[in-house]
Amino acid sequence: MTHKKWNWQKEDWTVFSYDNEEIEKLEREYASQSGFSLGIARHLSSGDQNDLIVELLSNEASKTSEIEGEFLDRESLQSSIRREFGLGMPGHHNHFNASPAEAGIAEMMKDIFTNCESPLSEKTLCDWHEMLMSGRKKIEIGKYRTHTEAMQVVSGRYDKPKVHFEAPPSADVAKEMEKFIDWFNKSAPNGKEPLTPLVRAGIAHIYFVSIHPFEDGNGRIGRGIVEKSLSQNMGRPTLIAISSSINDSKRKYYEELAVATKGNNITQWLVYFADTLLDAQKQTIQQVDFIITKAKFFDTHKENLNPRQLKVINRILAEGPKGFGDGFSAKNYRAITKSPTATATRDLQDLVSKGIFSKTGQLKTTRYTLNLSPFQGK
């Protein structure tokens, strides 16, 4: 008799149980923060709202890929997402060379954002897989896996692999996915068995990745399903830094997945995932605040900047709320502007005298920081 090691092998598979009291307080906090985030975003101009959408979607596209060990070019992602939304690339030419991976995930993120209210279907998931896996020749693209060998998540040496999880056989995938899609649509706010936002999103993720229906890309599609789930519960496209939050503690994410795939009482998983979504929500609010701060900064200073200074400041701001490391050097300035030392020195002195840059250190240790404090929290 086969030892029933995995969640899908057990009698209570798909009958997920959990302690609702543990989750209810997290649901209340999430609902409160959702309203706060939405209220802030409404104060943005349409242009700044577009910037926020592009910034968050490109960051999510980058981070959801990074979780899987794939590193994409940030500027190409932003260009791809702007093109998907019919937006120009400010300060750049609109011709760019995005890789299939960058163009494909941009298309998927746009589809998740714009079609969030439509029911989930096999076609939707297969379309996402085709977008995501564009250009990959060694796997089946745009359809569920069919290979006969076991689908395993492994690590370690090739000759001594450690099996972290084994998914249902390929022959069972279509049946399992039909049940999953039916559950997802029934659990929607307008479905027959609606669930609260964090419970639904948490179950959706662990349920989907446990089936592991595709040869590759299951984690990224699973996180896309979470975005769709939260958007449906909010009644509008959500902007939440899910993958960014997961990537900050990637090891914890995989540890919790490993525990959750061994049984169907998922209280621990739901508490972890709810905490992760609350952190993601806080990161989103920080990003909204940052967009507002940028808008106020440019309202005040744009006419005081020459093209070189503007280029450097846009480069610094592209790093987002976390900033540009330990500061910005004269060498950085020269590299970005392709300007001689005398010009760079004059530009930097001008920025310091206007209070736009703060200066610390001396000689080779001199660093400059963009001074956004006058525009924050107002």
Q: How many CA atoms lie within 13 A of 338 on its CB side?
A: 1
Q: Are 72 and 99 in contact (CB under 8 A)?
A: yes
Closest CA to 320 of 31, 54, 42: 54
Parallel, antiparallel, or unpaired: how do β-strands 367-370 and 161-166 relate? unpaired
Asked if the domains 7-290 and 305-375 are classified in one and the same CATH topology, the answer is no
Q: Are 84 and 106 in contact (CB under 8 A)?
A: yes
Residue ranges covered by each domain of the chain: 7-290, 305-375
Q: Are 49 and 12 in contact (CB under 8 A)?
A: no
Q: Between these two residues, 328 and 95, which has the higher pLDDT value?
A: 328
Q: Between these two residues, 136 and 253, which has the higher pLDDT value?
A: 253
User: pTM here?
Assistant: 0.86
Angle in degrees, CA 61, 63, 67, rounded to 5: 120
Angle in degrees, CA 278, 286, 199, rounded to 5: 15
CATH 1.10.3290.10 correct for 7-290: yes
Mean pLDDT of the chain: 90
218, two tokens: 């299951």
Q: What percent of the chain has pLDDT over 70?
A: 93
Helices 218-234, 100-114: crossing angle, 10 deg rounding: 20
Average pLDDT value for residue range 303-307: 93
Report residue 39's pLDDT band, with 50, 70 and 90 as the boundaries.
low
Q: What percent of the chain has pLDDT over 90?
A: 67
Taking the C-alpha atoms of residue 38 and residue 281, their distance in angstroms, rounded to an integer, is 11
In this structure, which topology does domain 305-375 adopt according to CATH? Answer: Arc Repressor Mutant, subunit A (1.10.10)
Q: Between these two residues, 92 and 165, which has the higher pLDDT value?
A: 165
Q: Are 291 and 223 in contact (CB under 8 A)?
A: no
**Digit-coded pLDDT (tens) for 94-150:** 445 788 999 999 999 999 999 999 999 999 999 999 999 987 777 889 999 999 999
For position 33, what pLDDT does the model report?
A: 83
Closest CA to 350 of 333, 332, 327, 374: 333
Decide: helix, strand or coil at residue 237: coil
95, two tokens: 């011709």
Residue with tokens 């279907």: 121
CA distance from start to end of the chain = 66
Angle in degrees, CA 327, 330, 334, rounded to 5: 120
**Digit-coded pLDDT (tens) for 148-168:** 999 998 887 777 788 889 999
- Whether pLDDT at 38 is above 70: no
For position 1, what pLDDT does the model report?
A: 42
